[in-house]
Structure 1
Amino acid sequence: MIMNKMYTYTVFDVETPNRANDRMSAIGITVIGGGKIVDEFYSLVNPETHFDYFNTKLTGISAESVKGAPTFPELWKTIEPYMSDGILTAHNAVFDMGVLKKCLTGYGIEWKPTAKYLCTVKIGRGCLPDMSHKLNVMCEHYGIALDHHQAASDSRACAEILLRYIDAGYDVNSFIRTFKFV
């Protein structure tokens, strides 16, 4: 069996305020270390931009909800250590990684040029090709609680799915890719 349990995975999920997908309105982070969940973090984020009706309806997060929440640059000081430790992981990771990149770029925050990441959708398609890999479908399949489109719940559910893949003996690390931030 591949020793995936030796790695640290920083599983995250973002919610966005509008279709531009260049700002966050919430972020959930779930850290896996030693083959189990060892830490969790959640925050609303003031995106300093408008909210589309669709996004507010989907996530329940509105301009009113984020009054008093930290902006991304304020929050980055807190989440950067999480994001810098371990392999970044998300469900449909290209979306979440893209939002992270746009936030960093939009606020002129320099980070690292690249980061290793995993996508649980891609792992699922490779390991379980004959089923849908939508987050809610995977959670139903594995009996994982989900409050869909809530960043804390989505990141935890994604972490639980990753742990199911690891426990089943799938070589999830063969799915590691590199994301370019510059």
Structure 2
Amino acid sequence: MNFVSIDFETANEKRHSPCAVGLVVANEHEIIDEYYSLINPITEFRSYNTYIHGITEDDVADAPTFAELWPTLNKYLMNNLVVAHNASFDMSVIRHTLDYFKLPYPSMDYLCTVKISQRIWPKLTNHKLNTLASHHGIIFEHHHALEDARVAAKVFMKAMEEYPSDSMDTFLEKCNLTKGKIYEHGYTAPKTKSASRNRKIYFK
């Protein structure tokens, strides 16, 4: 079951200001491929954002714009299952930036590792990426797009180890979750399904 993990960093509070992207292709057993690029957001940087991720306007001066990078990103994302930690943020970056550049949406399914982690490890104090990394003994550089994407991929792999399944649909059924979707002209968010009284709950 191959999937693609993605993470963006942004130059400011606007969702169409990505300044870095990290992508990790993996399956339930191993990481297969990785991709990282800085992005020239063609807009100003806020000091707070730079404080978080360390990327400055000088760093991205010669970097490709999102529109220039999109054909490469689209090859990773189109018709694939995509995961992200706090996926609502990363998916909104994709949608808002595509809207900004007047580019068509890809067709893809996506999942949020926050929601998955809340289902599988409900007793953690929180489900932030650094908390999950610490819980699983993963050392990483937080707020670096590729490192964050790699940790999200590893967390998803750990989740699939907890609930071994012969298909993604079976895994999601165990988690009582549904996939989100991005498609031309719109999107639907991943949802948490209420467990039936007669349905076994798979918390551990």
- Identify which of 134, 144, 160 aligns with 2:128: 134
Matches of 1:140 and 1:172, distance apart in 2: 24
Q: What is residue 102 of structure 1 aligned with on the other side?
A: 96
Matches of 1:14 and 1:162, distance apart in 2: 18
Matches of 1:172 and 1:58, distance apart in 2: 34
- Identify which of 116, 119, 131 aligns with 2:109: 116
For these two proteins, the number of residue pairs brought into alignment is 175
Q: What is residue 55 of structure 1 aligned with on the other side?
A: 49
Q: 1:31 to 1:57 in 2, by over 3 A?
A: same
Q: 1:107 to 1:118 in 2, by over 3 A?
A: same
Aligned partners of 1:120 and 1:161 also within 8 Å? yes
- 1:42 is aligned with what amino acid? Y
- 2:97 is aligned with what amino acid? C
Work out which of the two has the higher radius of gyration on C-alpha atoms and give 1 or 2. Answer: 2
Aligned partners of 2:28 and 2:161 also within 8 Å? no
Give the drift of 1:32. Answer: 1.0
Matches of 1:160 and 1:29, distance apart in 2: 13
CA RMSD of aligned residues (A): 1.5
- 2:121 is aligned with what amino acid? L
In structure 2, the residue corresponding to 1:42 is in which secondary structure? strand
Structure 1, unaligned runs of 5 or more: 1-6
- Identify which of 178, 181, 191 aligns with 1:179: 181
Give the drift of 1:82. Answer: 0.3
Give the drift of 1:130. Answer: 1.5
Q: What is residue 64 of structure 1 aligned with on the other side?
A: 58
In structure 2, the residue corresponding to 1:146 is in which secondary structure? coil
How many percent of aligned residue pairs carry the same amino acid?
35
Give the drift of 1:172. Answer: 4.2
Matches of 1:152 and 1:118, distance apart in 2: 18
Q: Higher helix share goes to which structure?
A: 1
Q: What is residue 160 of structure 1 aligned with on the other side?
A: 154
Q: Using the TM superposition, name which of 166-175 and 128-137 deviates more.
A: 166-175
Give the drift of 1:77. Answer: 1.4
Aligned partners of 1:116 and 1:176 also within 8 Å? no
Give the drift of 1:116. Answer: 1.0
Matches of 1:159 and 1:169, distance apart in 2: 16
- 1:129 is aligned with what amino acid? P
- 2:32 is aligned with what amino acid? V
- 1:179 is aligned with what amino acid? K
Matches of 1:155 and 1:55, distance apart in 2: 18
Matches of 2:123 and 2:162, distance apart in 1: 16
In structure 2, the residue corresponding to 1:62 is in which secondary structure? coil
Give the drift of 1:21. Answer: 2.1
Q: 1:169 to 1:34 in 2, by over 3 A?
A: closer
In structure 2, the residue corresponding to 1:25 is in which secondary structure? strand
- 2:144 is aligned with what amino acid? Q
